[in-house]
Every structure is written in structure tokens, then in C-alpha cells.
A = this chain, B = another copy of it.
Amino acid sequence: MAKNPSLIVSAHHAFPRYQQIARQLKQAISEGELLPGSRLPSSRTMALELGVARATVENAYGELVSQGWLERRGQAGTFVSPSVTATASSQNVAASQPQGAPLPFQMGLPALDAFPRALWARLMGRRLRLQTRYDLVMPEFKGESTLRQAIADYLRFSRSIECLPEQIFITAGFQASMRLAVRALAKPGDGIWLEDPGYRYIRPVFTDAQMVMHPVPVDEEGMQIDYGLAHAPQARFALLTPAHQSPLGVALSLERRRQLLDWAATQQSWIFEDDYDSEFRYHGKPLPPIKSLDGPERVIYAGTFSKSMFPALRVAWLVVPQRQIEAFSQAAGFLPCTAPLLIQQTLADFLREGHFWRHLKKMRQCYSERRVWLETALQNEGFEVVPQAGGIQLVMRVKGNDRSLVARARAAGLAVQALSDWRMIPQGEGGILMSFTNVTSAEMALGYASQLRKAIM
């Protein structure tokens, strides 16, 4: 068997050096000093220049190749990857974006620049030092009790939801939350109301469980409960985003909340309340979650840290009624929480020490500002932005085929989405969806809006 050269090299050279070199190269690429498609010096030349071993440079190059920043072309040498650029357009603001950098308008991301990474790293470092050998074992199936306690405290304090830690189940994300809820409560053939338009990537969870999906239209008061009552009253579930409907951003009205709860109580059906972005409200007083009004105990509340913290964390949670703890615990035995213990512990600290609350407060301010920047810029370019009270995305009304407009925008490296792609039943007006979370200045907003107009008008 041939020995692995990278293992041998790494045993003889100090590690940080090649990684420092890799970082410097990344920075040079992302700052445009090294252009996409340009050739790098040979590892021999670079090694002489830097005064390091050639293998060190090879390792740095190898790391960046595996991350997609560089590519090797045999005898021709090593090049800055052209795919670092999303398109070949010179107008494209996505040029020289490093791997993982959001494209303009990219949805589903919090403000990456605003997360307190140094604080998070400090808390995690402390946890790492405090861990004992007993922290190496499999985490609890329903998640760590310290984190469940911290979430219960946060929900009481911030969301007016009273629950015991035992009612909370930690998961590896919203999809995992829904899989757990479906395993605990659903059987094949059960009907579920889904908002139309709505978040499409959750639908496989219900088709996998052989459930029947009933699209229910959304208007300016949220899901049209009357429609559900008329067309599929026997459904056993309803999934909603009542705070700011995803993607339209409207809030479910108080009357409809009552209607929905009445239906659930009468039919003994279950409401899945997806409260993914309710922290972000910029005008007026937000309605409390349906869960906080849940006298009949028919609401399964789903929260996530993907938006309020960051998506790489992979942590979400459910709050279930007390009488359903047993069913969910059994389900969690089959679908145990896969969030690593260290992550759960650090997150618990982040919540308990008040950092989460402070971060959310800061983000509300930040998003409120960024939202206005982008909304104003889009209006200046003649776009019609639909007014919304909260959330982390914008909708623009457009005439004509929103899919073909979006295709043109995407070809220009702009990551907007077509409202039609979020619909189950093709109907209603077209729209363009986008996020403002990573629009970090009024100037950037103006640039983005101008590019969008040029791309699609």
C-alpha cells in the first residue's frame, strides 16, 4: 500500500504555516488581487519567494483546490478557479466571491457580517475547556436538558410561551423537526393544509410519510382558513408561518388564528406553527405566536436558530403539548437529535447569558435599516415593493412571467427567486422574492437595484 504523502508531510512541517499561506491567497482572491482564471506561480517559485518548503506551498494549494478556490490543470499549472465568479459578466457583483459568500439578494441567510463570531468562539472555547470525558457520549435523544431549559426561558421571556423543558425537543433543523412531528403524530393518508405559496423544500417530508397535501391560498390576512374548511375540513394537520408568511410576509390575522384553533380543537387536528423569523418585526406590535393562545393544546411550535443565529449551526426545536411528550419521546428514539453536544452546550450558554437576546435586538435594528435601503433603492429603479411589517425577505410585484424575469436576473449572478416557483397551484400574480439581510450599505442597495433593473427590464 502506498503511503499517503499528505500525512507524511504534515507530520514533518508545522501545520499553521500552510494554512496561513492558504488564507493569504484566499484574501488576495476575494479582494480581487488575484483574478479568476489567472495562473499562480509554481509551488517551487512560491516556496522560494516565501522562504518555506515547497511541500508547504503544495499543501496550501491543495487545500484551496479542495475548497474550490483553485484548480489544477496538469502541466499548465495551478489557476484561480473561474467558478469563483458566478458568471463571466464583468458587471457581475458576485465576481471574486469566496466559497460560501452570499450572492446578491440570496435568501435564507441572516446578516453574515453581524454575527458576533468572536464572542461565539470564546463561549465555545470555554465549553471545550470545561468538557469532561462524559461529554463524549451520545447526546440525549431529545436534546440536552440545559439547552431545553434555556429555550424554555427564552420562549417565556420573549415569545409569551409558557412551557416546561420536557416539552422541548431539539433537532438538527426545521426539516428534522417536521420529520419528528410527522413520525410522532401522522399516519399514511392523513391530510395536511399547506400555505400556497409556501416553502417547498419541506414537502418531501409529507410525501415520504404518504400524507395528502392540501394547498390553501394565502391572501393579505395569511392562510385562507375558510378555504381549508371548505375544501379539506377533515385534514389532520395544518402547517403555517403565521408571523410573516413565507414568502409573502403577511401576518395571519387574529380572527383567522381563532378560526384555526377552533377547527383544530373540534377536529382534533394539529397545527404546526413555523415561527422561523418572528423575531424580526419592524413596524407595529407583533401578534403573539398561536402557541401562546393554545388553550386546547393542539399546536406544535417549531423554532430554529438558522435565521436568528446562523445556518451552519444546524439546530432547531419543537415545543409539544404536555400530553404529546410521550409520543414525541418515542419518535425521538427512532430519530434522535443529531446536534453535537458541544454545539448544544455553547448555544445554551449563549442564551442563558443574555447574548442571544442582545444579538436579536441588534439584528432587528440592522435589518430594519437594510430593509429600508433596499426597498428605497428598488423603488428608485421603478420596482413595486409589497409593503410588509417584518420578516427577512422582500416581495416585488411584477407583470409578465416572473420565472423568465428571474432566469435573466440569475444569469447575471443575482440570486432572486420567482414567486411562481413557491406555488403548488399555478395561479395568482407573479412576484420576485429576495433577501436584504446581506445588503450592508445604502450604496450596495443602489448597486444591486440598478443591476436588477438592467438584467430584467
Contact = CB atoms under 8 A, between A and B. Distances in A.
Given A138-B311, A338-B176, A121 B117 contact: no
Given A338-B176, A338-B338, A139 B312 contact: yes
A110 B138 CA distance: 11
A137 B124 contact: no
Interface in A196-227: 204
B338 A67 contact: no
A145 B68 contact: yes
A327 interface: no
> Chain A: interface secondary structure?
helix
A57 interface: no
Interface in A8-26: 10-11, 15-16, 19, 23
A113 B133 CA distance: 6
A100 B145 CA distance: 12
A128 interface: yes
Interface in A155-179: 156-157, 160, 165, 172-173, 175-176
A121 B338 CA distance: 20
Taking the full assembly, how many copies of this chain does it contain?
2
B354 A165 contact: no
A383 interface: no
A131 interface: yes
A71 to B, nearest CB: 12
Contacts of A16: 126
A98 B146 CA distance: 15
Interface string A120-159: 1100111011111111111100000110010001101100
A3 interface: yes
A341 interface: yes
Interface of A: 1-4, 6-7, 10-11, 15-16, 19, 23, 63, 66-68, 98-102, 108-110, 112-113, 115, 117, 120-121, 124-126, 128-139, 145-146, 149, 153-154, 156-157, 160, 165, 172-173, 175-176, 204, 306, 310-314, 334, 336, 338-343, 349, 352-354, 357
Contacts of A204: 334
Given A7-B153, A125-B125, 20 more contacts: A4-B153, A4-B154, A7-B353, A10-B352, A10-B354, A15-B349, A98-B132, A98-B134, A112-B134, A112-B136, A113-B133, A115-B133, A124-B128, A124-B342, A138-B311, A176-B338, A313-B340, A314-B338, A340-B340, A340-B343
